[in-house]
Chain A
Amino acid sequence: MKTDIKLSGVGGQGILSIATVIGQAATSAGLHLKQAEVHGMSQRGGDVQSDLRLSDQAICSDQIALGTADLIVSMEPMEALRYLPWLGPDGVVVTSSRPFVNIPDYPGEEALLAELDSLPRVARLDIEQKARDLGAPRSANMVLLGMAARHMTILTPEQLRAAIRAVFSAKGRKVVEDNIKAFDAGYESIQ
């Protein structure tokens, strides 16, 4: 069994925290893992992505091949679309629906969301609004992780919750509780 995930977003949105949680869960579960990240210049408000590969077998390549990803998990809708060529035939797109507009030629929101909705398997949600409604405005990325958990059969929600607790424990009880709450809300948002 293997799961290949393209994680994407805009520099500073917190995709590396999602990768860290999944990495922690995978390691605890005894899975093989490779996680290629982007550091350096792109982190300054540019597009960022991470290839995350989980498997019960040894993994060779640090990069995911075109047309093979099981999931695109994105903090931003246009950044989800950017990685479509990597999505596999049965792949699922899980994304925030709220555009992050920091460039002058950002596409029209309606057309962008329509293109997303034209995909066979897509789940989108205004995760920032959801996080604010929960009183956990800094936990939007964990809402997204909760949504992705519905489509990540290689790890159980309980394994991911345990990883959230482990990764954020140093930041205090409130941060852990907010993140678990956000994760659960994301998970429940998909039936």
Chain B
Amino acid sequence: MEEKRLLLGDEAVALGAIHAGISGVYAYPGTPSTEVTEFIQNDPLARESGVRSRWCTNEKTAMEAALGMSYAGKRALVCMKHVGMNVCADAFVNSAITGVNGGLVVLAADDPSMHSSQNEQDSRFYGRFAMVPILEPADQQECYDMQAFAFMLSEALRLPVLLRMVTRLAHSRAAVSVGSPQPQNILHPDEDRGRWVLLPGNARRRYAALVESQPKLEAAAEESPYNTLSLGSKPQLGVIAAGIAANYVREVAPADISLLKVSQYPLPAARVRSLAEACNEILVVEDGQPFIEEQVRGLLGAGYPVTGRLTGRLPRTGELNPDHVARAFGTGGGPVFQTAKNLAPRPPQLCQGCGHRDVYAALNQVLADYPSARVFGDIGCYTLGALPPFRAIHSCVDMGASITMAKGAADAGVHPAVAVIGDSTFTHSGMTSLLDAVNDNAAVTVIISDNLTTAMTGGQDSAGTHKYEAICLALGVEREHLHVVVPLPANMEKIAGIIRKELEYKGVSVIIPQRECMQTLARKQRLRKAEGGRQHED
């Protein structure tokens, strides 16, 4: 009998990949992609069959390890949030030049509306840039079904496949019909060195082959079961909807609307033309940036009316919802009850008792005497130190930028220049920054606020736990300017004293406040208690 399971979009991807016979998942945690890897780590079948699933240090190491597994002939999944694509871009783009051996699927979970992100870049552009096929599921069932399909496509075309999804699907649950698992590939490393050694002579050949293979990718998209065209009885307005956007169209549009649902790229140009010929106007509905809309304009020429996010028929920024799409069709009721009067924003904040709070309290106490000080922040829970009551940081840009921006600002004459970075972010992209600072003897004070976990995404293992002192010393930080402290209110004076002293040092200092995250601590206590409760009943 067919089994149904209630799954998040992320979990459906994970189970689909396990059933497609992956031998490994490689990932760095990032909202909204984190639950894919967590599901695989906890799945009994994946554990039993030895699917490798430990967290990676960053998205680039993840992408490269997955490519290595593919080289060896086995199937691998890589998962990340959209900005992770920037980190792994070197490996990702070049994996299209080498091509793959075992199937390789790269999941990029985009975050339109920036629920937990610093931009809303659209990963489909990376797929087009690298010239690889892109899949974009519309619902949880497609999240599951597309895995086996994606791995077969990857092995048939010998290219990596980019799987793009958005927050609203990643973090939405629905019942999914699941099939049965297929075996993993056998070990069969690729013997063709000419594919894998990208010396210019080989690379030119490989790039020409990639360009020549594009008609095959286009044909696959034209024939894809995930790209569906249905023409209505009175086709005037034709709609092209990508992935999840098709659901909003089906929710609010007239039942017999002419709809081309796109879930596989390159854009199926022949199907777009069929729709255009049957209709006299096209509306493009897509979450993210106007990726399809721009291409359709090019395809149909200036004379054919095409509307969407570029023309303002849909909002240019932010995630789509049924209300936007209804307005684009000139329907939709809107609110019945108006916005309440007694309402205030409730932004997220650092947890009570969190060690980051003690770090910022000490830092603010000392910096009150240094009006010229600038504090460069980074990506993690501690970014919330930008908000009241602390208002402690002046920047937050990308993973690892705190240390290197502090160095650049110090080079320019800013003093004191302070970097605040979390433990996991430091191993992700801060170690090379610290080496630059040490090599240039930059006058920066680096605070690695270590809570022994990757807290922001829910408490995943952090790559460098218990190794931070050793790493800093090995990178050349001087012993007398490296301090490990415990961030507690009781230690405030001691920590403030160390910060004050190191701000005056004209070289690299590193202070490591180290105390476990309140959330992971509480979870461990709950687990212990639940364990005790069950034993008591037995």
CA distance A115 to B534 in the complex (A): 45
> In the complex, what distance in Å separates the CA atom of A24 from the CA atom of B332?
31
- Chain B contact surface mostly: loop
Assembly CA distance A67 to B333 (angstroms): 7
The B-contacting residues of A in range 97-127, CB under 8 angstroms, are 102-108, 111-112, 115, 119
Residues in A with CB closer than 8 Å to B35 are: 39
Other-chain contact of B346, A85, A103, A115, A172 (Cβ < 8 Å): A103
Given A34-B174, A66-B334, do A85 and B339 touch, yes or no (CB 8 Å)?
yes
Most buried by B among A38, A41, A67, A171: A41
Which residues 53-73 of A have a CB within 8 angstroms of B? 59-68
B336 touches A105 (CB 8 A): no
**Number of residues from A at the complex interface, CB < 8 A:** 60
Inter-chain contact A40/B175, CB cutoff 8 Å: no
Is residue B528 contacting chain A, with contact meaning CB distance below 8 A? Answer: no
Using A44-B350, A172-B533 as known contacts, say yes or no to A62 and B172 having CB atoms under 8 A apart: yes
Known contacts A23-B6, A34-B172, A44-B349; A65/B322 CB under 8 A: yes
CB–CB A108/B335 < 8 A:
no
Query: Do the beta carbons of A41 and B116 come within 8 Å of each other?
Result: yes
User: Please, which residue of chain B has its CB at the minimum distance from the CB of A84?
Assistant: B337
Decide: A35 and B173 in contact? CB cutoff 8 A: yes
A184 at the interface (CB under 8 A from B): no
B51 to chain A, nearest CB (A): 23
Contact A42 B348, beta carbon cutoff 8 Å: yes
Complexed CA–CA distance, A173 and B338 (Å): 44
Measured CA separation A51–B322 after assembly (Å):
13
Chain B's nearest CB lies how many Å from the CB of A133? 23
Q: Which of A29-45 contact B (CB under 8 A)?
A: 32-45
The answer to whether B250 has its CB under 8 Å from any CB of chain A is: yes
Q: Which chain B residues lie closer than 8 Å to A172 at the CB level?
A: 530, 533-534, 536-537
Q: CA A156 – CA B388 in complex, angstroms? A: 45
- CB pair B344 A105 closer than 8 Å: yes
The chain A residue sitting closest to B347, CB to CB, is: A46
Q: Please judge, given known A-B contacts A87-B337, A174-B533, whether A41 and B348 are in contact too, CB under 8 Å.
A: yes
Chain A residues with a Cβ under 8 A of chain B? 10-11, 23-24, 27, 32-47, 51, 59-68, 78-79, 81-82, 84-89, 91, 102-108, 111-112, 115, 119, 170-175
Name 22 interchain pairs, CB-CB below 8 A, sorted by A: A27-B175, A35-B173, A37-B171, A38-B115, A39-B35, A40-B456, A45-B351, A62-B168, A63-B168, A63-B248, A63-B321, A63-B322, A65-B322, A65-B333, A66-B323, A66-B335, A67-B335, A68-B333, A78-B342, A78-B343, A81-B340, A84-B338
